[in-house]
Structure 1
Amino acid sequence: MERGELFPSFGFSRRVGCDKLLLLSQSYYMSSSLPDTETLPEIKPEVREQDELSPSWKVIVLNDPVNLMSYVVMVFRKVFGYDEQRATRHMMEVHEEGRSLLWVGEREQAEGYVYQLQRWSLQASLEEDD
């Protein structure tokens, strides 16, 4: 087929220019009958608070006789970004009470914190918040 030649299914002459073909094909599709469209009702998404979507999870660190207190403070500062005073307070709570609640939030992030603490050789666990 040569440039400008139309497909036989349209039934047009052989030597129609591209501009004419475009106009003819547009008018063909515009004039063809389309099925009626149905207007759907507007659906509004239900908005929920984070507490309703998923429960909170606690990151708990447990006491162990292996790690030095200064090491535990350093880990809390690196993993959670705590300042010296806050990290020391949590370390003392672990030392005196056997455990400390370090963080509460979404499960995925809590699992990440537990994993990081365990990589630093601290005993940590994940508990669902009530």
Structure 2
Amino acid sequence: MATPQVQPVERQETDEAPESARPWVTIAHNDPINLMTYVVFVFQKEFGYSRDEAEIMMWDMHTKGRVVVTSGARERMEYDASRLHNYGLWATVARQ
């Protein structure tokens, strides 16, 4: 009986990291209810951003509809989203 021949599999190089290696992110979404100054305050108080950083993030959220606030382990991102919910802000968690 002949031994089966195994063909080497060519691997394609991709720029994307494997699904399990990609970090999770907390995304804050724009809403028509909260004032821009309030959003800046929350970003500063809860995540330690400087006023300038928080204002840039707020403008991104306002003009683009959403902004990534934090990234890391899934459990931490869910916690960060719940912190934003406590302030009345709309937030979700997703893979980056």
Q: Do they fold alike, i.e. is TM over 0.5?
A: yes
In 2, are the aligned partners of 1:54 and 1:106 still within 8 Å (CA)? Answer: no
Which residue of structure 1 aligns with residue 34 of structure 2? 67
Question: Contact conserved, 1:93 with 1:100, CA < 8 A, in 2?
Answer: yes
Query: Segments of 4+ in structure 1 off by > 6 A?
Result: none
Which structure 1 segments of 5+ residues have no match? Answer: 1-50
Task: Give the number of equivalent residue pairs.
Answer: 79
Deviation, 1:103, is 1.3
Match of 2:87 in 1: 120
User: Partners of 1:76 and 1:111 in 2: how far apart?
Assistant: 16
Greater strand fraction, Structure 1 or Structure 2 = 2
Percent identity over the alignment is 38
Match of 2:51 among 84, 89, 93: 84
2:15 match: none
- Scaled by the length of structure 1, the TM-score of the pair is 0.57
Q: Retained in 2: the 8 A contact 1:103–1:110? A: yes
Alpha-carbon offset, residue 54 of structure 1:
5.6
Structure 2-normalised TM-score? 0.76
Whether the 8 Å CA contact 1:55–1:106 is kept in 2: the answer is no
How far 1:52 sits from its partner (Å)? 9.1
Report the aligned-residue RMSD: 1.7
Name which of 52, 70, 74 aligns with 1:103. 70
Structure with more relative contact order (C-alpha pairs < 8 Å, separation 6 or more): 2
Task: Provide the secondary structure at the position in 1 that maps to 2:63.
Answer: helix
- Quote how far apart the aligned CAs of 1:78 are: 1.0
Q: What letter corresponds to residue 45 of structure 2 in structure 1?
A: K
CA shift for structure 1 position 101: 1.0
Cα distance in 2, alignment partners of residues 53 and 128 from structure 1: 10
Unaligned regions of 5+ residues in structure 2, if any? 1-17
